Structure 1
Amino acid sequence: MTAIDIRPLAGSAETIETLAEILVETVAAGGSVSFMHPLSLDAAKTFWTEAMAAALRGERAILGAFDNDALVGTVTLLLNLPPNQPHRAEIAKLMTRHSHRGRGIATRLMLAAEELAIRQQRTLLVLDTATDGGAGSLYKRLDFTLAGEIPDYALKPHGGLSGTLLFWKRIGSSDHSLAVATAMEA
């Protein structure tokens, strides 16, 4: 098995094309990532083009998992939150190509996103995942705490309603958390 390299993504046409392919593949397989099936490649490219522009503005960070030179997975860290939430970030769009599932890539992406969030001085991560076929067990293994479930939260990509599970995790040192809280009070 080859080593998987996790790194920030730039918005090249090739990267956007591959991310779009991964998104279309994920939605076609029933992945609940905010889109409905069938998702056109053009719509997926538009999403990733806009996401990359937001990353250039510092509103999010998009990480990629590479198997040699092939982009095989991604996760997004949403950083542009309201002024009263500078201490937190949100995980979004965790996806791995079906050909590469079961190799620990999603775990590696999540750990890299957490490290990046800590470097961004964030002390709380939040995320949600579908109750039907979502990655809840992965997030529990990574020490996220289940806050609760909301029924009938979103449509499944192929139709029908699915609930969502809300998770959170404190990150960074407690000294760091205290420093952020003190800075926010100043």
Structure 2
Amino acid sequence: MSNITIHPLGLGAATVDALATMIVETVAGGGSVSFMHPLAMDDARAFWRGSLTAADKDQRVILGAFDGEMLVGTLTLLLDCPPNQPHRAEFAKMMTRPSHRGQGIATALIGAAERIAHDKGRTLIVLDTASDGGAGPLYERCGFRLAGEVPNYALKPHGGYTGTLYYYKELAQLS
């Protein structure tokens, strides 16, 4: 992972295309990121254009992990919470390209997102992940605590139900 860099992404055609390609690839591989297979590139591009527009309004931060010029991972930090929840943020759409899995990229993205959340005054991060094949063990290794599971919460990208695991982490201990 020595050549991997991580930084926030901004709206641009090349960024939208790279993110769209990644989410289409993730969904085709069975990744549960809110979409069904087959995911059309136009739909993926529209999703990321909307997400990056929200990032430009400081409603979220979309992090990109790069191996040279190639986008190999992403994680979204959602910041636009209701008025009674200004202390929390949420993780969404964490993905690593299959060619780069197992190299610590997701862990590095989580650490970067936690630091940004902390710097923005957030003390609690919540997230959800699929029970079947989701990233629960990774989140637990990163210090997240399981709050519970809802069975049959969502459809898997290729059909059939999966439960959803809900996790949280308090950030007050970060320096």
TM-score (norm 1): 0.92
Pairwise CA distance, 1:99: 0.7
> Going by fraction, where is helix more abundant, 1 or 2?
1
In structure 1, give the amino acid aligned to 2:168.
W
**Alpha-carbon deviation of 1:2?**
4.5
Instruction: Identify the residue that residue 14 of structure 2 maps to in structure 1.
Output: 14
Residue 104 of structure 1 corresponds to 104
Greater CA radius of gyration, 1 or 2?
1
Shift of 1:3: 1.5
Task: Give every structure 1 segment of 4 or more consecutive aligned residues whose post-TM-superposition deviation is greater than 2 Å.
Answer: none
Q: RMSD between aligned alpha carbons? A: 1.3
Corresponding position of 2:65: 65
Give distance in 1, aligned partners of 2:15 and 2:98: 18
| Residues 122-167 of structure 1 deviation map (CA, whole Å, 9 limit, x = unaligned) | 0000000000000000000001000010001000000011000000
Is 1:24 aligned to 2:13, yes or no? no
Structure 1 residue 12: Cα displacement: 1.0
Show the counterpart of 1:149: 149
- 1:86 maps to which residue? 86
- The residue correspondences of 1:104-183 to structure 2 (distance < 5 A) are 104-173=104-173
Aligned-pair distance for 1:173?
3.8
| Structure 1 residue matching 2:21: 3-state secondary structure | helix
Name 1:183's counterpart in structure 2.
none
Cα pair 1:2 1:67 within 8 Å, conserved: no
> Aligned equivalents of 1:46 and 1:71: distance in 2?
18
Q: Distance in 2 between matches of 1:99 and 1:40?
A: 22
Aligned to 2:6, the other structure's residue is in SS state strand
Q: In the aligned structure 2, how far is the partner of 1:125 from the partner of 1:2? A: 27
User: Unaligned stretches of 5+ in structure 2?
Assistant: none
Percent identical among aligned pairs is 61
Task: Give, in whole Å, the separation in 2 of the partners of 1:62 and 1:157.
Answer: 23
Q: Return the offset for 1:58.
A: 0.8
Gaps of 5+ in 1: 177-186
